[in-house]
């Protein structure tokens, strides 16, 4: 990613121009240089323009549609930042900072990386785990449809903007080597930290399974997955609780009514993250019928159903 942002400001008086420059300098990380340009510059990264100027024909012709545009209006009555329109003057620059991160910095990261020719990113993750703990392992950027994460192999973490976590579409990933500037740019943003293994588990689980596991082979998992998607909590954790005790797919299918395909999907994701072990069938915890009375089971199930309903689980 470039460490210089080329910005043009149009249609402002000198006092407001200076104040806007100050706002932008405050909101853009200090290690990124800002070059104040004119509209004729060929490599602009951001155009800041007074709202009323935008409709002028000449301006419309000049503006390249790929360049982010921040419109400025002089209005105390509106919110600081509404869509791409910034109300001036402003006391709180938080919204502007986030807009810059999302619209300008992210765009720079996405356009500057060198893509690895890799048709299936999940396979790549598998190699990353296999090669893990290599101290000098490079950092990667994984790009989804609307978001990106920085994968830090050394510390086994991935970083992303918290707001994008739920939107991350693991099935449409591409991987790129991250340049030092990408890492700096991302770490300057409000990122949250997550376990790399869990990210890979979720990517593999969301990608589905093309593998059929023998129904009567017993397996045990030694690491519980952490589902990202709230909708997966119940099924994934139920499967994790069962397979952490040792079980066969058939036993769990019969006991829980969870479709075999979902069980295979779960097992494949666990296999992918090296947390699945084959065990002799005799070590399955579900070989005999339980001795708990139906009344007790029903009472407890009923209790947990009510608790789940209450909590929205």
Partner 1 sequence: MILQQHKIVFAGTMGAGKSAAIQTISEIDVLSTEAKNTDTQRHEKLLTTVGIDYGEITLEDGIKIGLYGLPGQERFDFMWSVICQGAVGCIVLIDHSNADAIKSLEFYINQFKQYGLNLVIGVTHLDEIQHLGLNQYQAWLDEAQINLPLFFIDARKKQDVLLMIEALIAQYEAQLMTPTTATT
* Interacting residues toward partner 1 by CB under 8 A: 154-157, 191-198, 222-224, 226-227, 230, 233-234, 237-238, 240-242, 244-245, 255, 285-286, 288-293, 296-297, 300-301, 303-304, 306-313
Residue 46 CA to residue 79 CA, distance in Å, equals 21
Nearest residue (CB) to partner 1, 87 versus 198: 198
Nearest residue (CB) to partner 1, 4 versus 166: 166
Per the structure block, which two tokens stand in for 284? 């399955």
Nearest residue (CB) to partner 1, 83 versus 294: 294
Minimum Å distance from CB 253 to partner 1?
A: 13
Minimum Å distance from CB 217 to partner 1?
A: 18
8-state DSSP, 100: I
161: Cβ contacts below 8 Å, ≥ 6 apart: 101, 102, 147, 189, 190, 191, 192
Pairing of strands 46-50, 4-10: parallel
Nearest residue (CB) to partner 1, 111 versus 290: 290
Per the structure block, which two tokens stand in for 145? 């449809």
Minimum Å distance from CB 220 to partner 1?
A: 8
Minimum Å distance from CB 59 to partner 1?
A: 42
Residue 122 CA to residue 137 CA, distance in Å, equals 17
Minimum Å distance from CB 303 to partner 1?
A: 8
First to last CA, the chain: 42
Instruction: Provide the angle, in degrees to the nearest 10, between the axes of the packed helices 260-272 and 249-256.
Output: 130
Nearest residue (CB) to partner 1, 88 versus 286: 286
Q: Which residues pair with 84 in a beta bridge?
A: none
């Amino acid at each position: 990613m470039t460490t210089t942002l080329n910005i043009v400001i149009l249609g402002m008086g000198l006092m407001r121009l200076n104040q806007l420059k100050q706002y932008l300098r405050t909101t853009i990380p200090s290690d990124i240089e800002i070059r104040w340009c004119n509209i004729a510059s060929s490599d602009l990264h951001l155009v800041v323009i007074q709202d009323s100027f935008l409709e002028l024909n000449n301006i419309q012709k000049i503006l390249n549609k790929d360049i982010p545009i921040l419109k400025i209006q002089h209005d105390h009555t509106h919110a600081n930042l509404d869509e791409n329109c910034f109300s001036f003057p402003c006391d709180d620059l938080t919204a502007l900072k986030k807009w810059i991160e999302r619209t300008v910095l992210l765009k720079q990261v996405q356009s500057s990386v060198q893509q690895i020719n890799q048709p299936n990113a999940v396979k790549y993750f598998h190699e990353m785990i296999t090669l893990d703990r290599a101290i000098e392992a490079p950092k990667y950027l994984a790009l989804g449809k609307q978001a990106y994460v920085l994968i830090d192999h050394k510390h086994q973490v991935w970083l992303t903007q918290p707001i994008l976590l739920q939107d991350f579409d693991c099935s449409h990933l591409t991987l790129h080597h991250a340049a030092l500037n990408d890492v700096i740019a991302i770490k300057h943003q409000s990122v949250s930290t997550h376990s790399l293994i869990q990210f890979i588990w979720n990517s593999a689980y969301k990608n589905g399974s093309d593998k059929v596991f023998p129904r009567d082979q017993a397996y045990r998992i030694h690491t519980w997955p952490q589902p990202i998607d709230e909708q997966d909590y119940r099924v994934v954790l139920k499967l994790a609780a069962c397979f952490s005790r040792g079980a066969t797919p058939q036993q769990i299918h019969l006991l829980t009514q969870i479709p075999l395909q979902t069980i295979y999907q779960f097992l494949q994701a666990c296999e992918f993250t090296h947390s699945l072990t084959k065990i002799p069938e005799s070590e399955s915890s579900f070989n005999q019928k339980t001795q708990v009375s139906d009344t007790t089971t029903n009472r407890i199930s009923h209790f947990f159903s009510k608790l789940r309903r209450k909590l929205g689980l």
